[in-house]
Structure 1
Amino acid sequence: MFEALFHRSREAMMIVGYDRIIGSVNRKATQFLRTQASDLVGRSCDELFPDCDLEDLFRTAELIDGWTPPVRCMSSRFEDSLLDLRMLQLNYPPDEAAFALALYQESEDRVAFRKLREDVTDATRRASIERSLRQDLEEANSKLNAFANRAAHDLRGPLRRIRQALELNRMTSADPEAVPEILLLAEDSASELERLVKDLLNYSKQTSQGVKKENVRLPELIEEAARLRAAESNDLDWLETGPDVTVRGDPGLLSIVFGNILSNAITYQSAKRPLRVCVAAEMVGAGVKISISDNGIGFRKEDTDRVFRVFERLHASGDGAGLGLATCRELIINHGWEITASGEPDVGAVFSIHIPRHDFVSWDRHEKGGLASPS
């Protein structure tokens, strides 16, 4: 029975003993190895598969009831390709331990499929690791934000009391002009530290907000932001809002963005000329670019990378902790947009916001200098 199955099998098979000598081969094996049975029978398996750990294959076959998992190895007859070997312990012939050794070679399609499956498995594993790391990072950031908010709130009270005590000491002094300089310095330092804590709280709250997009007319939003910043006057002759562009964005967060950019222009305006801020728009690729340029003191080209960094202040003049433009960058990124900056000393600065097509709604074609909305 076994003899019939062995010789009619569609798999290339041979019978080997413990001594690894080939006792018999079926017709499929001779075709597979491209030789005759007489060239195989009586030879050692080690000659055909010199790089294969046959000892391990024999041990595995003795331990399991069935075919062993495939073992990949090179054959002396197929130098440019790999073979898979499987082994099964037999009770045939009687009273003599023997093993069936099956040989097969993967087709090009199967090799490609296996490689694809390995790639998918590896990609799935890496995606799972990245997802886990992202969740851990989000949790850590959430805890860090909560700690920062709590710490900032806890610091504001003592700082305010220190500042108020120093102010009270100065105001109630018999001779305010005679207050020691060290106390005046302490009062200024307490005020500056209190302002820094306040700015940090605002930065944390603003940049962690979710973005809720709706249609926003930029000229209206920019003019309102300018009025809030130019508190001493409602005169906005210094501002040109440009074409009537409507985009999809979060009006509250965009008001913060344009407000901070305008505050930057007001703070660092040139003493040589009246302040002038111009908002322009142009179609770029599939989206629109909004540019806000001023004629202030500007900054050096080599300082461009520092503009949006937290706590960076390119000029010693002006108040603030260096968080305004960093906030702008975070809020623009949260929208899925991009913001860039350029400048030239004593000429001015330009901040450009790049808005992708899916968030661009319309451009009033009747506005002076405007273009028609893309179809």
Structure 2
Amino acid sequence: MAGTLNVLEHVDDAYLVCMTGGAVVYGNRRARDLLMPANDEPIETLAEAVEPADAFLELISEARTVGDPVPGRVRARDGGSDVRLEACRIRLGDTAAVIVRCQLASEADAPFEAINRDLRLKREMLRHRRARLLLEQSRSDLDGFAARAAHELKAPARKVSSFAGLLCDDLKDSLDEFSAELLESIRNNADRMIEVIDAVYHFSSGSAGPLELADCPLDDVLETAAGAVAMDIHRSRVRLDIGPLPIVRGTPVYLALVFQNLLENAVKFRRQDVTTQVRIRWQSESGGGGTVTVSDNGIGFDQADAARIFAPFSRLEGADVDGAGLGLSTCRSIVERHGWLITASGRPGEGAVFSIHIPREAVVSLNGL
């Protein structure tokens, strides 16, 4: 027995040796530090130094009759730590006894906490994986719908373009100049509609991938955008004043769609009592980038609505105009996908200013500005 106790004195774990009646006859150094840290009384009084004392005695009693290790838990008195116990019946020579392994509950629980953390992490990963699969399925369904919608939208546009072209060819000798221009404008706008439908579809679909950037002279982009709304500008007698603009890195068809939407907005939200004026200017910034501003003298808006007007399907209160409410939302999506920023400011009855902030790295050339 003495040899066994001598070995226990030099191990790192805390051990007690108890008689089958519950009396503690030995505790190694680690056990005394753990269960009786501020008590110099003999180890034999340990049952009085832990709580609940009856739980400790019941553990010893159960271990005496059970062959497998028996778990238990006690707390050292006077605010001591929780201690996890594991008691097992042994023989020391001819004497039946119970040996008790003691361990701080926090240390004993650490492996289980690690396992629980791992399980929680795996559950979270599984939840995210399921969500991702659902999102991918939803995106696939939406892509399919968008493809069918784009096909159906382009079909009548192709017919308009084709019929306008046939009329131009068949009646070219009998049409006056204005009628010929109208037919040509119809054909050009139908072709432009097909191009925009394709661009919007590829932009919104999950298969769009990275933007196909190119050097874009914004002068040419504005010419395309203005041409798309030329009939509205002419009919509404809008005065369009476009200043010199730089060359930037961007996707021409998308950028043309941005300015087309901004020009359409200026026409839609014009005041009836004044001649509508739309002014487009470039302002260089000290950091190397710059800002394109599109300003008008239309009905304007309350500055409190400056963020809301970019939301999908958003409409200004009191504004009775046609449209789905997606123009400015599309502008923001395209601009932000380029890594740029679009903001708006306005005052009721005085007009609006839309500012596209372009960073230095996107400006290829100031184009003689």
CA distance in 2, matches of 1:200, 1:254: 14
1:133 maps to a residue whose letter is: A
**Shift in Å at residue 241 of structure 1?**
4.2
1:103 maps to a residue whose letter is: Q
Helix, strand or coil: the match of 1:129? Answer: helix
CA distance in 2, matches of 1:286, 1:72: 70
Residue 259 of structure 2 corresponds to 258
Equivalent residues in 2 for 1:116-131, closer than 5 Å: 126=124, 129-130=127-128
Residue 296 of structure 1 corresponds to 298
Residue 217 of structure 1 corresponds to 216
Gaps of 5+ in 1: 159-198, 368-375
Q: TM-score normalized by structure 2?
A: 0.63
Residue 279 (1) aligns with residue 281 (2): yes
Helix, strand or coil: the match of 1:238? Answer: strand
Residue 228 of structure 2 corresponds to 229
Gaps of 5+ in 2: 157-195
CA distance in 1, matches of 2:331, 2:290: 18
2:270 maps to a residue whose letter is: Q
Instruction: Show CA shifts across 1:214-247 (max 9, x none).
Output: 2433523532333332434899972324552524
Residue 4 of structure 1 corresponds to 6
Q: Does the 8 A contact of 2:62 with 2:70 survive in 1?
A: no
Q: Does the 8 A contact of 1:62 with 1:89 survive in 2?
A: no
Larger radius of gyration: 2
The percent of aligned pairs where both chains have the same amino acid is 27
**Shift in Å at residue 97 of structure 1?**
5.3
Question: Aligned match of 2:356 in 353, 356, 364?
Answer: 353
Question: Aligned match of 2:204 in 200, 203, 207?
Answer: 207
Residue 76 of structure 2 corresponds to 75
Q: Does the 8 A contact of 2:15 with 2:102 survive in 1?
A: yes
**Shift in Å at residue 347 of structure 1?**
1.8
Instruction: Show CA shifts across 1:88-140 (max 9, x none).
Output: 52423356351322234879xxx99x999988986776466345424423422
Helix, strand or coil: the match of 2:99? Answer: strand
Residue 102 of structure 2 corresponds to 102
Residue 340 (1) aligns with residue 343 (2): yes
1:96 maps to a residue whose letter is: A
Q: Does the 8 A contact of 1:85 with 1:102 survive in 2?
A: yes
Equivalent residues in 2 for 1:304-319, closer than 5 Å: 304-314=306-316, 316-319=319-322
**Shift in Å at residue 6 of structure 1?**
0.9
Q: Does the 8 A contact of 1:246 with 1:361 survive in 2?
A: yes
Q: Which has the higher helix share?
A: 2
CA distance in 2, matches of 1:67, 1:286: 75
Residue 196 of structure 1 corresponds to none
CA distance in 2, matches of 1:354, 1:365: 17
Equivalent residues in 2 for 1:83-94, closer than 5 Å: 83=82, 85-87=84-86, 89-93=88-92
RMSD value, Cα = 5.1
State the aligned residue count.
Answer: 318
Residue 331 (1) aligns with residue 346 (2): no
**Shift in Å at residue 59 of structure 1?**
8.2
Q: Does the 8 A contact of 1:277 with 1:294 survive in 2?
A: yes
Equivalent residues in 2 for 1:178-217, closer than 5 Å: 206-208=203-205, 209-217=208-216
**Shift in Å at residue 26 of structure 1?**
0.8
CA distance in 2, matches of 1:51, 1:306: 68
Call closer, same or farther: CA 1:39–1:288 in 2, change over 3 Å.
farther
